[in-house]
Amino acid sequence: MELVDLTTTPFEALPIEAFKAHLRLGTGFADDSLQDDLLAGYLRATLAAVEARTGKVLFERVLQWRLSRWAEYGHQPLPVAPVTAITSVGLRDVEGNVSEVDTELYGLERDTHRPRLFAKGSCLPSISEDGEAVVSFTAGFGASWDDIPADMQQAILMLGAHYYEHRHEMSGVVKAMPFGVVSLLEPYRNIRVLGAR
């Protein structure tokens, strides 16, 4: 299985000004934007860390997921949430030829933690031996910073500040996320119980 970003979060969507305010950086100077690229780098690293921990896509993006078999005949849990639309489902054979699956044959079951692709008939179309399914979908809370839940926004700013303030540490010691960040993110983690997929 492989999950690939087909789009990236544009620089303009990043909460640079909110991050500056959180860091209490000076304002009103001619070179206010001097550190913007640096701050954007810390924000992108923070967003990636939060997404990895929670399985949630923060800013809306188009993703492509390739898998060699379905988890179940009638449905397939998607690897991240929230998913707002399934753009396409294709079947690639061993020669690399892709055939698009008719949109009438599948649908999206939205869920906070485990959205699913489901068959509108009895089962999803079969994947050929040594072939794969290619599922393209749109995921994320929204296109702007304001679409992200407030507690996640706070966790992002706190973790970004932690990265920024410890940027010169060279000890090589791996530290866990700060407790306050973990507490804010905990409700968004997908907990799998009793072997649930």
- Over the chain (197 residues), what is each successive 10-residue block's mean pLDDT? 92 95 75 82 96 96 96 92 97 93 95 94 91 97 97 97 83 73 92 51
Residue 29 has a pLDDT of: 58
pTM of the model: 0.86
Distance CA 82, CA 190 (A): 12
Q: In the chain, what are the domain boundaries?
A: 10-55+145-188, 61-139
Residue 195 has a pLDDT of: 45
**In the block, residue with structure tokens 């780098």:** 41
CB 60 within 8 A of CB 84: yes
Is the domain spanning 10-55+145-188 CATH 1.10.3230? The answer is yes
Sort 34 into a burial class: Cβ within 10 Å, 0-12 / 13-18 / 19+.
exposed
Residue 109 has a pLDDT of: 96
Strand 2-5 to strand 132-139: parallel, antiparallel, or no bridges (unpaired)?
Answer: unpaired
